[in-house]
Structure 1
Amino acid sequence: MPAHPVRPGRTPDRLKDRPTWLISRAFARSSALLAAGFEADGDGLRGYHYRLLAALEQWGPASQADLGRDTGIDRSDVTAALTELESRGLVERRVDPDHRRRKIVTITPQGGDALVGLDAVIDRTQAAVLAPLTAAQRRQFVDLMAKLLD
């Protein structure tokens, strides 16, 4: 069923205090803002590109399969996204000499630069999403969300 924007003030009372409803609405809002940010300032890159670049930058070279598992991206989508990143010179793929069927992916210096640019897009989006909260509330919100995901 396609998602439609919910009109302000038009949420049924029995949903207003349900955490699952609130989380899904916050997710929808933040996802829309993030997609718009990537569209405007992401130089054609998207959230899944960011996740792959961030993983490579933090953890170093990895197999495509490990990248998929570590970032929660489907294997076929990892392959397509890495092809896009490789065509832009943001990553390099080499055959693993120990396992000829496996490819090892490495972030390039240009990929590191792109990651910094995408950080700025995400930082602006985070600021917009969390704008109604004080600094202390933001920290508490992040801590509580992290606890839910542990």
Structure 2
Amino acid sequence: MESDDAGLRHSDADTPERVRRQLSRLVGMTAGQLRKAAGAALAEVGAHKDHFVVLASLAEFGPASQSRLSDRTRVYRSDLVAVLNDLEAAGHIQRAPDPEDKRRNVITVTAKGRCRLGELDEVLAGVNEHVMAPLDPAERDTLFALLARVNAHLADG
């Protein structure tokens, strides 16, 4: 079952075959359901996806300016300030003036932030497990590989 624009539930049998066979529709519906599941799971622990991507970026690539962090995470600069405020208030990151340019801040993940990232990893692993439940391990690997290839192809233009 899926919802239409009016919120009514209907089966795929009510959808024309040529519409059902549109890859963009299927991938879009799947992505929407995945975003909803991940968003709900993160909200249960007082987080959202931008918290996760910022902490993951800092943990993997090290300290960064706000501008660089925005580029890495694809979080809009205007939205990033609020995310950083949340993370700093919780003690997950530290902002300090850049020693090379006092006009900008360098963002660093704290030990508490690394711990929080581990918690968020577990939450999202649970979401992934739920979403991928119908697939065996080999199918999961194949799905990731195929999606990565398609994404790389589209990114190349």
Q: What TM-score results when the alignment is normalised by the length of structure 2?
A: 0.88
- Structure 1 residue 32 corresponds to structure 2 residue 36: yes
Alignment RMSD: 1.6
Summarize deviations over 1:50-100 as a string: whole Å, max 9, x none.
000000000000001111101111001111100110011000000102111
Gap runs ≥5 in structure 1: none
Percent of aligned pairs sharing the same letter: 31
Summarize deviations over 1:3-61 as a string: whole Å, max 9, x none.
95763324331121211111101101101111111122x2x111100000000000000
SS in 2 for 1:100: strand
Alignment of 1:1-150 (within 5 A): 4=7, 7-9=10-12, 10-40=14-44, 42=45, 44-150=46-152
Aligned length: 147
Q: Name the aligned partner's letter for residue 72 of structure 2.
A: D
Q: Name the aligned partner's letter for residue 11 of structure 2.
A: P
Tell me how far apart the structure 2 counterparts of residues 7 and 39 of structure 1 sit (CA, whole Å): 28
Distance 1:137 1:70, change over 3 A: same
Moved over 2 A (4+): 2-12
Distance 1:83 1:18, change over 3 A: same
Gap runs ≥5 in structure 2: 153-157
